[in-house]
Chain A
Amino acid sequence: MKITKQEFLIRSGLGQETLASWLEEQWLIPSDSSVETSFSDIDIARAQLIRDLQEIMGVNDEGVGVILNLVDQLYSMRRTLMTLQNVVQHPSD
């Protein structure tokens, strides 16, 4: 489901400036059409993860970037594993 920037700010509890800097760092990658930027549920959950890293775990900005990079690789690896599992289980597909 598409979420407008305004709604995203409310639901994620972020300020305008924080969002701008996170977008600058590419911690968040909303889908960008020529008309407007729109967010989705995964962006809200990711923003919450970033806030947890900063506020709960005390990770600084440099650390957040490193963690997100590794987290993204971990999740991609998991998806690849799931794909492999499917191929092994249903070899005819």
Chain B
Amino acid sequence: MSTDPYEVLGVKKGVSPGDLQKAYRRLAKKYHPDLNPGDKTAESKFKELSAAYALLEDPEKRAQFDRGEIDASGTERPRQNYYRDYANSEQDHPYANSSGFADFMGSEDALSELLRRGARAQANRRGHDLEFRLPIKFIESIAGASKRLTLPDGNTLDVAIPPGIVAGQVLRLRGKGAPGLGKGGFGDALIEVEIMPDRLFTRERDDVYLEWPISLSEAVLGAKIKIPTPTGDVTMAVPKASNTDTTLRLKGKGAPKQGGGQGDQMVKLKVMLPKGPDPDLEAFVANWENGKTYDPREGMAS
């Protein structure tokens, strides 16, 4: 993309305002997207032209650009949809005018028969599918949920999120799309589910992973502790002599598997010492012979 506005408009640097406008008009006539409905590049060309002209038609901005104080970015004017976006759609509108080819429609030849068949098919065409994105919480993706989508037209759509849904999965709600024509019926609503990351849980296949802190006493002596799962808290037995990275399995607490069954929740323990110095702990460890001889770095490359 050329960013020199003079180059975009095909004019020399010293061009007079009159010639500048003339050049812009000539190119705008050629590239206006509504006058080139089949040309996908027309819109970007026209945008570029308009941005270049917006910069150069303003004497102050043009002088600043010439002195190198500003560049050509940021002068694009915001633009809503073009007419061609509506007139090209299959929706009926009052501006349709078939007088330019009416002679093809009335005769007995093959083309007019095809057109008539097309018109009949068109008359009972099914409505369009409408696509939506729906962000949900991680917990909702495992446990399932019922969500309400507000549509652009202000209507709402209730969406049942099945338990165990994965990111990017598309839910199809039959008959909740755009209305069809004649006997065509409604299209479908296609809802792409986006799962927001969770502070605690991650997921791998059908299993849910959680890292959970335990105290030194719980690790050494074992304990029953409360563990969150996507479907609510459960009590889990931490066995004696558990350690950091010890991973415990909570059977059936993961995501539902396709075709039955349930994944597991894997709980990875993390042993946490109490915060700050603790004289009792220090005294205990100082007298603990085994603790002095144990080398956790044994076998690690140095």
Establish whether residues A83 and B119, one from each chain, have CB atoms under 8 Å apart when the complex forms: yes
Contact partner of A42 among B83, B90, B98, CB < 8 A? B83
Establish whether residues B118 and A86, one from each chain, have CB atoms under 8 Å apart when the complex forms: yes
Q: Does A23 interact with chain B (Cβ within 8 Å)? A: no
Q: For chain B residues 82-100, which have a beta carbon within 8 Å of chain A?
A: 82-88, 90, 93-100
For A73, give the chain B residue with the smallest CB separation: B100
Q: Does B290 interact with chain A (Cβ within 8 Å)? A: no
Minimum CB–CB distance from B33 to chain A (whole Å) comes to: 9
Q: How far is the CA of A49 from the CA of B121 in the complex (A)?
A: 31
Minimum CB–CB distance from B150 to chain A (whole Å) comes to: 14
Minimum CB–CB distance from B113 to chain A (whole Å) comes to: 10
Q: With a CB–CB cut-off of 8 A, which chain A residues contact B138?
A: none
Q: Does A38 interact with chain B (Cβ within 8 Å)? A: no
Establish whether residues A44 and B94, one from each chain, have CB atoms under 8 Å apart when the complex forms: no
Minimum CB–CB distance from B189 to chain A (whole Å) comes to: 18
Q: For chain A residues 6-61, which have a beta carbon within 8 Å of chain B?
A: 29, 31, 41-42, 44-46, 48-49, 52, 56-58
Minimum CB–CB distance from A48 to chain B (whole Å) comes to: 7
Interface centre among B38, B86, B115 (most CB of A within 10 A): B86
For A75, give the chain B residue with the smallest CB separation: B87
Interface size class of A (residues with CB under 8 A): 20 to 34
Establish whether residues A87 and B118, one from each chain, have CB atoms under 8 Å apart when the complex forms: yes
Q: With a CB–CB cut-off of 8 A, which chain A residues contact B88?
A: 75, 78-79
Establish whether residues A78 and B37, one from each chain, have CB atoms under 8 Å apart when the complex forms: yes
> How many residues of chain B have a CB within 8 Å of chain A?
38
Q: With a CB–CB cut-off of 8 A, which chain B residues contact A48?
A: 80, 82-83
Establish whether residues A76 and B100, one from each chain, have CB atoms under 8 Å apart when the complex forms: yes
Establish whether residues B100 and A77, one from each chain, have CB atoms under 8 Å apart when the complex forms: yes
Contacts known (A29-B94, A29-B95); A46 close to B117, Cβ less than 8 A: no
Q: Does A72 interact with chain B (Cβ within 8 Å)? A: yes
Interface residues of A (CB under 8 A from B): 1, 29, 31, 41-42, 44-46, 48-49, 52, 56-58, 67, 69, 71-80, 82-84, 86-88, 93
20 extra interchain contacts, Cβ-Cβ under 8 A, other than A45-B85, A48-B82, A49-B32? A42-B86, A42-B95, A46-B86, A48-B83, A56-B25, A56-B50, A57-B25, A58-B25, A69-B97, A73-B101, A77-B100, A77-B101, A78-B37, A78-B38, A78-B88, A80-B98, A82-B90, A83-B119, A87-B115, A87-B118
Instruction: Kindly list the 8 A-B residue pairs having the minimum CB-CB distance in the complex, ordered from nearest.
Output: A73-B100, A83-B118, A42-B86, A72-B97, A75-B87, A45-B83, A29-B94, A87-B118
